[in-house]
């Protein structure tokens, strides 16, 4: 069951969830799509773009999320801007009892490889030299998920999550410059697993 949502870039939602990210960018708007089908067909828009707001950070993001104490585990779902490649972060969780935050404990590494930019190569000869034709998709929106260990969430009605950016400086292809790296966040949804009634 879904128990909470944090909208990044929305001042009210960030305030309610005590969102803190000293190295975060100012909120910015993206108009794009998910990977959900063709844009147009026969001159008609089939899958229109949508707009959303988010931030990027090269440091730490922290925020509170409400959960169900008798959970059987918690899933975080992040909406992100897939323009930024190889987004990787270390995740930590602390219990938050009535505003008193406990010690942060490691929950794992959150990693999404790739980006909306890729390399296309189609040489004329079968064994011809590789071509490096860089192409960017207009599909910048992604949802990515991360499971929190049960021992960090059981018995808590609220947790504080710390996301610590841990960059992976891999070029798109050998010899290419490394792209700008950052952790992108537009929305965090939290879901609690429970036994069926």
CATH code: domain of residue 61: 2.60.120.200
Confidence of residue 122 (pLDDT cuts 50, 70, 90): confident
Q: What is the pLDDT of residues 123-180, one digit of tens each?
A: 888 888 777 778 888 899 999 999 999 999 999 999 999 999 999 999 988 888 898 9
128 assigned to some structural domain: no
60 assigned to some structural domain: yes
Tell me the C-alpha distance between 113 and 124, whole Å: 30
Tell me the C-alpha distance between 169 and 149, whole Å: 28
> What is the pLDDT of the chain when averaged over all its residues?
93
* Number of structural domains found in the chain: 1
Q: Are 190 and 4 in contact (CB under 8 A)?
A: yes
Task: Identify the three-state secondary structure at position 150.
Answer: helix
86 assigned to some structural domain: yes
118 assigned to some structural domain: no
Task: Identify the three-state secondary structure at position 69.
Answer: coil
Q: What is the pTM of this model?
A: 0.91
pLDDT at position 129 is: 79
Residue 79 backbone phi and psi in degrees, to 5: -90, 135
pLDDT at position 135 is: 83
Q: Are 67 and 157 in contact (CB under 8 A)?
A: yes
10 pLDDT exceeds 80? yes
Structure tokens at 197: 């009634």
pLDDT at position 173 is: 83
pLDDT at position 193 is: 95
Q: Are 85 and 95 in contact (CB under 8 A)?
A: no
> Bridge partners of 90?
109, 164
Domain span at residue 146?
2-32+50-112+140-169+181-192
Q: What is the DSSP letter of 126?
A: T
75 assigned to some structural domain: yes
Tell me the C-alpha distance between 59 and 19, whole Å: 13
21 assigned to some structural domain: yes
């Amino acid at each position: 069951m879904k128990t909470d949502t944090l909208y990044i870039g929305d001042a009210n939602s960030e305030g309610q969830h005590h969102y803190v990210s000293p190295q975060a960018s100012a909120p910015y708007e993206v108009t794009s799509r998910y990977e959900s089908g063709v844009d147009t067909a026969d001159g008609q828009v089939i899958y229109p773009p949508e707009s959303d707001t988010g931030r990027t950070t090269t440091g730490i993001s922290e925020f509170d999320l409400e959960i169900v104490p008798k959970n059987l585990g918690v899933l975080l779902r992040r909406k992100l801007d897939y323009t930024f490649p190889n987004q990787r972060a270390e995740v930590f969780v602390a219990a938050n009892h009535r505003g008193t935050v406990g010690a942060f404990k490691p929950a794992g590494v959150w990693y999404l490889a790739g980006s909306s930019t890729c390399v296309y190569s189609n040489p004329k000869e079968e064994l011809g030299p590789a071509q490096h034709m860089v192409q960017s998709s207009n599909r910048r929106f992604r949802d990515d998920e991360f499971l929190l260990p049960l021992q960090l969430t059981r018995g808590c009605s609220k947790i504080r999550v710390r996301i610590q950016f841990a960059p992976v400086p891999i070029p798109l292809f050998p010899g290419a410059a490394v792209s700008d790296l950052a952790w992108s966040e537009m929305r965090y949804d939290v879901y609690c697993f429970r036994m069926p009634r």
